[in-house]
Amino acid sequence: MSSLAAKRKLGKPRSKEDRIFDILNFTLLTVVSIAVLYPLYFIVIASISNPDLINAGKVWFFPQDITFDGYKRILQDEKIWTGYKNSIVYTVVGTAVNVAFTLMAAYALSRKDFYGRNFFMILIAFTMFFSGGLIPTYLIVKELGMLNTMWALIIPKAVAVWNLIVARTFFESTIPNELLEAAKIDGCSNTKFFTKIVLPLSKPIVAVMVLFYGVGHWNSYFDALIYLNDEGLYPLQLILRNILIQSEASQSMIGDIESLAAQQRVGELIKYGVIIIASIPLLIVYPFIQKYFVKGVMIGGIKG
């Protein structure tokens, strides 16, 4: 690629092989982009199109017989707003706990003067391959009194081992020992060194951890399905699951419609609309941390 860039810079004619490579590369990337983006685009146009036309296969590239009835009913439903609020709380609090614990543990394990760090790393990595299972975990959560509380969705998964390994690798390859030695000469403690020097230099990996954990919390519904009984604590994704699979929430949105056929049509609009509404926060946040995300993954995943 460097020789190709040099040729372009010098204005030399590109070879036939270079042109063929560009065409194949562009074609492949275009196909992959379409395969990734079209399903999301289809959900967007389907959420405002006539369900009868969707079922008839007449909606492909543009919305047909546009209607916003589905979105109106979604935004008027209290369960959706409650789920939104709960998901935001779980995501913000859970991500803060995850990132704090992961970064502190990763930094400690990256320190060469930490006695027994390899032993602790083996114990932690062991949990990636073997766990107690769902029933023992449920019993522990129950004994700790966390059933039907937000902490049941946060504490049991406070640290993801893979994220811990990535963060540890980042610290090992980015924070030199000489920096710590210089800080100690100036009388800097370990805590102050971590908060004042290490964290400001670790914005890429912090952004990666925030994105990984945030997306995990926002999309999670299985833990809520297991540990929560109060519908007032349900996250948005669990409400979305009920709409898509059991049609529980949609009944409260279409109860004023007498015709069964009309209820089914509006129910289809609601299903597509809820998917879009649930995806909006992540689509808004991701562009702001993309540059840190790419840099952090490359450094934390390859070096060391």
Secondary structure of 129-189 in HEC code, one letter for each residue: HCCCCHHHHHHHHHHCCCCCCHHHHCHHHCCCHHHHHHHHHHHHHHCCHHHHHHHHHCCCC
CA 145 to chain centre: 28
Could you read off the pLDDT of 250-303 as tens digits, one per residue?
A: 555 555 565 666 666 677 777 777 788 888 887 787 777 666 666 655 654 544
Which pLDDT belongs to residue 118?
84
Could you read off the pLDDT of 207-238 as tens digits, one per residue?
A: 888 888 888 888 888 888 889 888 888 888 88
Instruction: Kindly give the parts of the chain with pLDDT less than 50.
Output: 1-2, 249, 300, 302-304
Which pLDDT belongs to residue 98?
93
Q: What are the helix (H) ranges across the chain?
A: 2-10, 16-46, 51-55, 69-75, 78-110, 117-129, 134-143, 161-174, 177-185, 190-193, 203-219, 222-227, 236-241, 248-253, 260-302
Which pLDDT belongs to residue 295?
61
Q: What angle do CA 54, 55, 59 make, to 5 degrees?
A: 25
Residue identified by tokens 């959706």 is: 80
Kindly list the domain boundaries of the chain, sorted by start residue. Answer: 2-67, 70-302
Is the distance from CB of 189 to CB of 278 less than 8 angstroms? no
Q: Is the dihedral of CA 202, 203, 204, 207 positive or negative?
A: positive
The residues, any chain, with a CB within 8 Å of residue 267's CB and separated by 6 or more, are 247, 250, 254
Which pLDDT belongs to residue 299?
56
CATH 1.10.3720.10 fits 70-302, yes or no: yes
Is the distance from CB of 260 to CB of 67 less than 8 angstroms? no
The residues, any chain, with a CB within 8 Å of residue 304's CB and separated by 6 or more, are 169, 172, 173
Which pLDDT belongs to residue 95?
92
Which pLDDT belongs to residue 96?
93
Q: Which amino acid is at 169?
A: T
